[in-house]
């Protein structure tokens, strides 16, 4: 283990089928005006909206309705939310939904009373809020992003031409999150498996960095193995509670800052995925799945030791009689087979990328100087072309 770090995560989690019973107690910690932020209506169809509103009413809260947070939330929508917060003197933003709704709630929280231009300040220049922020609470309905226990807030600004992530400090983490695996049972199969891949990508993008012997790598391998096991069950039978519950818990730990301790991280797959998301508005996890294999084949030789370890420790590849390259290649073949088995997209063409908009996607890719190799723009184009 190398490096210096401080570990602190302030989000209180309530997990399990009875998790909602904790909402009443949590709400007592905040003022009377609650902005209820949610997406395009799934929570109205599956009954979660009614359950949450009942608790808000029982606890005497004034509800400010804030519907229509879209997947890949936009900066325009964030500005709308900010106006609602200011006009109604909101005391708590309760985000009920997936990563998009929770990311959006954090963005509104930090931006509502910001005296500078929030896009430039937070998403472009990565500064921290200097203004009062509104506490955020969450009821998670879709598994994958880890937004329920981190400071991440990914916002799409089409006018600026970027989809960018800001990682806020602990003040912007949800104060509490309700994690009931049953709430995720109505997520459509396509979204569900996209979420599974998002988790795998978070794990891989923290794993494929560094050369030291590091406890964090052992944690990541364990989480990957649990995810692979449970995702195989859930992809065939989405109603399997045990598998869905395991995956929900894995997703939270995959991106709640624990796994960056002692590790540098890579995150280039997410940068390419965000650029695809900007141009096509495709589902986040699928954007990652569509470029991962070309990306990892491209950088495998630069981090051969770790790709070999991945093959043996995660996929159970037998190393006897094989050289490092053969072992590592076999590991990526196992990853590809698993992706096929759970049913994620492996070609960016299926998401709307083509020769015609490939340069536009490449222009929106941030190239990070991390991981085993810093890409050039030409390499980004090669990877995108291979992903078609």
Residue ranges in the chain assigned as alpha helix (H): 23-27, 42-45, 48-58, 75-88, 99-111, 118, 189-207, 215-236, 241-254, 268-280, 284-299, 304-309, 324-342, 358-363, 377-387
CB of residue 197 vs Zn ion: minimum separation in angstroms?
9
Structure tokens at 102: 């929770």
Site for ligand NZQ in 304-333 (CB under 6 A): none
**Distance of alpha carbon 93 from alpha carbon 256, whole angstroms:** 20
Q: Which two tokens stand for residue 223?
A: 């989480």
- Report how far residue 288's alpha carbon sits from residue 274's, in angstroms, rounded to the nearest whole number: 8
Task: Report the nearest approach of Zn ion to the CB of residue 204 (Å).
Answer: 11
Output the smallest distance, CB 164 to ligand NZQ, in A.
10
* Least distance in angstroms from the C-beta of 361 to Zn ion: 17
Choosing from 11, 100, 180, 252, the residue that interacts with ligand NZQ (CB under 6 A) is 100
DSSP classification of residue 289: H
The site partner of 186 among ligand NZQ, Zn ion, none (C-beta below 5 to 8 Å per kind) is ligand NZQ
Min dist. Cβ of residue 32 to ligand NZQ (A): 26
Count of residues that interact with Zn ion, criterion CB under 5 A: 1
- Total count of residues recorded for the chain: 388
- From residue 116 to residue 155, the character string flagging contacts with ligand NZQ as x (rule: CB under 6 A) and all else as - is -------------------------xx-xxxx--x-xxx-
Asked if 205 and 270 touch (Cβ cutoff 8 Å), the reply is: yes
Footprint of ligand NZQ on 211-230 (CB under 6 A): none
- Contact string (CB under 6 A) for ligand NZQ, positions 17-46, x = contact: ----------------------xxxxx--x
Q: What is the DSSP letter of 365?
A: P
CB of 4 to ligand NZQ, least distance (A): 23
Strands 162-167 and 152-157, by their bridges, are antiparallel
Task: Please say which residue, 164 or 380, places its beta carbon nearer to ligand NZQ.
Answer: 164
B/e letters for 284-304, b = 16+ CB within 10 Å, e = fewer, are: bbbbbbbbbbbbbbbbbeebb
Near ligand NZQ by CB under 6 A, which window of 4-12, 52-60, 190-198, 240-248? 190-198
**Contact (CB, 8 A) for 39 and 97:** yes
Residue with Cβ nearer ligand NZQ (184 or 346): 184
Distance of CA 217 to the CA centre of its chain: 19
For position 198 contacting Zn ion by CB under 5 A, the verdict is yes
Q: Which residues bind Zn ion (CB under 5 A)?
A: 198
Q: Which residues bind ligand NZQ (CB under 6 A)?
A: 39-43, 46, 71-72, 97-101, 103, 141-142, 144-147, 150, 152-154, 165, 183-184, 186-187, 191, 195, 198, 255, 270, 284-285
């Amino acid at each position: 283990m190398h490096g210096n770090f401080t570990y602190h995560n302030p989000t209180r989690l309530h997990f399990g089928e009875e998790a909602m019973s904790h909402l009443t107690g949590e709400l007592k910690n905040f003022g009377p005006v609650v902005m209820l932020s949610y997406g395009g209506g799934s929570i109205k169809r599956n009954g979660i909206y009614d359950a949450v509103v009942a608790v808000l009413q029982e606890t005497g809260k004034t509800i400010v309705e804030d519907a229509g947070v879209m997947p890949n939330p936009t900066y325009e929508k964030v500005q709308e939310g900010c106006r609602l917060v200011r006009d109604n003197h909101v005391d708590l933003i309760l985000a009920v939904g997936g990563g998009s709704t929770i990311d959006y709630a954090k963005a509104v929280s930090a931006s509502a009373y910001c005296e500078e231009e929030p896009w430039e300040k937070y998403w472009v220049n990565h500064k921290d809020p200097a203004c009062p922020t509104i506490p955020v609470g969450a009821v998670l309905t879709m598994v994958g992003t880890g937004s329920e226990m981190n400071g991440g807030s990914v916002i799409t600004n089409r006018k600026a031409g970027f989809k960018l992530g800001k990682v806020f400090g602990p003040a912007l983490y949800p104060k509490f999150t309700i994690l009931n695996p049953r709430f995720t049972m109505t997520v459509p199969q396509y979204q569900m498996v996209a979420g599974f891949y998002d988790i795998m990508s978070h794990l891989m993008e923290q794993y494929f960095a560094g050369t030291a012997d590091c406890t964090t790598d052992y944690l990541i391998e364990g989480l990957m193995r649990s995810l692979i096991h449970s995702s195989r069950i859930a992809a065939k039978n989405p109603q399997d509670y045990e598998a869905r519950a395991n995956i929900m818990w894995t997703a939270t730990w995959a991106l709640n800052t624990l796994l960056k301790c002692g590790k540098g991280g890579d995150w280039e797959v997410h940068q390419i995925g965000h650029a695809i998301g900007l141009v096509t508005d495709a589902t986040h996890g699928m954007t990652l799945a569509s470029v991962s294999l070309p990306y990892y084949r491209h950088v495998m030789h630069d981090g051969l030791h770790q790709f070999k370890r991945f093959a043996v420790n995660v996929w159970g590849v037998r190393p006897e009689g094989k050289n490092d390259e053969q072992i590592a290649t076999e590991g990526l073949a196992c990853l590809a087979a698993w992706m096929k088995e759970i049913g994620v997209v492996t070609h960016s063409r299926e998401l709307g990328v083509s020769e015609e908009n490939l340069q536009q996607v490449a222009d929106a890719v941030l190239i990070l100087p991390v991981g085993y190799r810093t890409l050039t723009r030409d390499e980004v184009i090669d990877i995108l072309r291979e992903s078609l």
